[in-house]
Structure 1
Amino acid sequence: MGMDVTAERLIPLPPERVAAYAMDWRHDAEWTQGIRVAELTREAEGGGFGVGAEVTRTAYFLGRRIDYVLRVAAHEPPRLLDMVSVAGPMPMHVTYTFDPDPGGGTLARIRVRGDASGLYGLAAPLMARKVRSSLVKDLRDLELRLGKPQG
């Protein structure tokens, strides 16, 4: 069963600031639901983080520990970070986009596509709902971490 879930949030800060934080794997565990540890396990061609780099995440989802590796497929800060799983319990494709909003803020969007069929034997709609609620919280926590009170 294919899963395709997107969440978005308008964050009242410029894209450069939002993306600088959100695209930095060192912050993954601070704002992404379930992630306990994230580490850069392979550097990009030119060193550091970029296309070809791999981040290994240890997460807890529905009470189970999951280890997975995401490879950077596209890295165009501050607009786009696209990652594809190369190891883990299910094929997954994670896309972050940060578009400038006319009002001066950032439209932050996270899209997760994957094949959840073999993972938990869960109905895909249930899995999609769990993922969507996680993404909504991620974006809310991202805004909170960036320190702008909601007015």
Structure 2
Amino acid sequence: MGIDVTVERTIPLPPEQVAAYAMDWCHDAEWTQGIRTAELTREADGGGFGVGAEVTRTAYFLGKRIDYVLRVAAHDPPRLLDMVSVAGPMPMHVTYTFEAAPGGGTLARIRVRGDASGLYGLAAPLMGRKVRSSLVKDLRDLEQRLSAPPD
């Protein structure tokens, strides 16, 4: 059974600013629900972060520790970051998109697709709701973090 969840939010800041922060793996634990650590464990072929780079994340989801690795499949700042899991409890595909919103600001969108087969298949409906709730909070936290006055 598959999970396919998309959430979006208009953030009243320019797409370049929103994408620069959200696409930087160093900030993953600051605004992404459940993520405790994120580490660049493989650089892109040309060095740094880009297509082929891998980020290892440690997260907690439904009370369980989950370690997984996402490989960058597409990287087109400030518009798109697309990642696929290459290690973890279930196959997963995460896509971030950022575009100018009508009337100003940024339309930020996160889509998570996954194959919740096996043990996770039994909990797929619950997981889908939990993923949606987490993604809504992610975009809210992203906006709050970017809109906060500097320290």
TM-score w.r.t. the length of structure 1 is: 0.95
Q: CA deviation at 1:119?
A: 4.5
Task: Specify the alignment match of 2:10 in structure 1.
Answer: 10
Unmatched segments (≥5 aa) in structure 1:
none
Task: Specify the alignment match of 2:87 in structure 1.
Answer: 87
1:92-103 correspondence to structure 2 within 5 Å: 92-103=92-103
Measured in 2, the distance between the counterparts of 1:58 and 1:123 equals: 21
Measured in 2, the distance between the counterparts of 1:119 and 1:100 equals: 40
Do structure 1's residue 117 and structure 2's residue 132 form an aligned pair? no
Q: CA deviation at 1:123?
A: 3.0
Unmatched segments (≥5 aa) in structure 2:
none
RMSD in angstroms over aligned alpha carbons?
1.2
Task: Specify the alignment match of 2:68 in structure 1.
Answer: 68
Q: CA deviation at 1:38?
A: 0.0
Measured in 2, the distance between the counterparts of 1:86 and 1:124 equals: 20
Do structure 1's residue 36 and structure 2's residue 36 form an aligned pair? yes
Measured in 1, the distance between the counterparts of 2:72 and 2:36 equals: 20
Task: Specify the alignment match of 1:133 in structure 2.
Answer: 133
Q: Deviations over 1:49-78 (max 9, x none)?
A: 000000000000011100000000000000
Letter matched to residue 80 of structure 1 = L
Q: CA deviation at 1:148?
A: 5.3
TM-score w.r.t. the length of structure 2 is: 0.95
- Count of residues paired in the alignment: 149
Do structure 1's residue 24 and structure 2's residue 24 form an aligned pair? yes
Task: Specify the alignment match of 1:104 in structure 2.
Answer: 104
